[in-house]
Amino acid sequence: MAAVPETHHLSEVEVTPMHAPIAALVECGDVRTITDKTVEAVRRAFLDHLVILIRGQQLTVPELLAFGRRFGELTPAAPVHQGQKPREFPELAVISNVVENGVAIGGLGDGEAVWHTDSCFNEVPPSASILHALEIPPSGGDTGFSNMYLALETLAPELRRAVHGRTIKHDQRYTSGGQLRPGYTGAEDIRATPGPRHPVVRQHPETGCSALYLGRRPHAHVTDFPLAESEALLDALWAHATKAEFTWHHQWRVGDILIWDNRCAMHRRDAFDPQSRRIMRRTQCKGSPVVEADAKSFTPHPRGHQNFQGDKKC
């Protein structure tokens, strides 16, 4: 892959691609006061780089949600536990291991969160996730991202043929941390689990480019495949899609905001010391139905292309 491009300017925004095949640092000032023109430049960087990092933001919940709405309609967050009371801010999710008065204030705890795409178990998954760091542990809890445009572009021909026209059934029961969601029970046969079917290769509705769309590995099933063949194909796809050469890992600082594109990027989280505190706030933008792309004659994305220079479009 070619050398990572230097910092470039988009309107009032400075964009510095990471030394990785995904993600960029975006400097845009205080997100509470940015102009529509700046928001559009930030959005362009988001589409170009799949993941953007904005540092040094101290936001209240209403301010975070107001910033999120600059990028589109927000979606209600899933409940953290059974019987959860109505929340003051339905579009806000707290990601935390902190327990107060015997009750967890958020979800996902302190364990590892495996590679996944947010809310792939919904018929219409979110387009973007916006995560803001309030408290972070001294070590651990890093978040990794993988470029699904590049994963598709470099997929072996036999695998590309195998996924052509295929769909995956995405299990609704479990979180990316492995916990059962409120209201669900386990099932022995993964083919019988509840969840939508999405194409393995999707077309991005804004860039027009093609990306692998795997969701999450546990409890997934390739539609109309015998179980053993489904498992073998998924194992091969996941082994490829999570290769180190497609990834970037972020070490959090308080005040960081990460915005990632769920339509073309997967992510994971490292475990951390349960005695440490980690508090993050997340909101998500409404997406659109997942549309199949042609796995045989796909449209590549510049960020996955070896000649990427930061200003090309599909």
Q: List 221's β-bridge partners, or say none.
A: 169
Residue 8 Cα to chain centre, angstroms: 25
**Burial degree of 158 (CB within 10 A; 0-12, 13-18, 19+):** exposed
pLDDT at 1: 42
**Residue count of the chain:** 314
In a domain, 275, yes or no: yes
Which CATH number goes with the domain that contains 208?
A: 3.60.130.10
Q: Which domain holds residue 188?
A: 8-304
Residue 310 has pLDDT above 60, yes or no: no
pLDDT at 3: 46
The answer to whether 286 and 75 have CB atoms below 8 angstroms apart is: yes
Residue 295 has pLDDT above 70, yes or no: yes
In a domain, 3, yes or no: no
Q: How many domains does the chain have?
A: 1
For 257-270, write each residue's pLDDT tens digit.
999 999 999 999 99
In a domain, 310, yes or no: no
Residues 6+ apart with CB under 8 A from 192: none
Binning pLDDT at 50, 70 and 90, where does residue 308 land?
very low
In a domain, 313, yes or no: no
In a domain, 79, yes or no: yes
In a domain, 157, yes or no: yes
For 207-228, write each residue's pLDDT tens digit.
999 999 999 888 889 999 999 9
Residue 314 has pLDDT above 50, yes or no: no
How many C-beta atoms surround the C-beta of residue 157 within 10 A?
Answer: 8
Q: What is the DSSP string of 185-246?
A: ---S-GGGS---EEESEEE-TTT--EEE---BSTT-EETTS-HHHHHHHHHHHHHHHT-GGG
Q: What is the rounded distance in angstroms from the CA atom of residue 125 to the CA atom of residue 288?
A: 7
Q: List 211's β-bridge partners, or say none.
A: 202
Query: Tokens 């470029």 belong to which residue?
Result: 147
Average pLDDT over residues 51-67: 98
Q: What is the rounded distance in angstroms from the CA atom of residue 310 to the CA atom of residue 314?
A: 12
For 96-132, write each residue's pLDDT tens digit.
999 999 989 998 899 998 999 999 989 999 999 999 9
In a domain, 1, yes or no: no
In a domain, 82, yes or no: yes
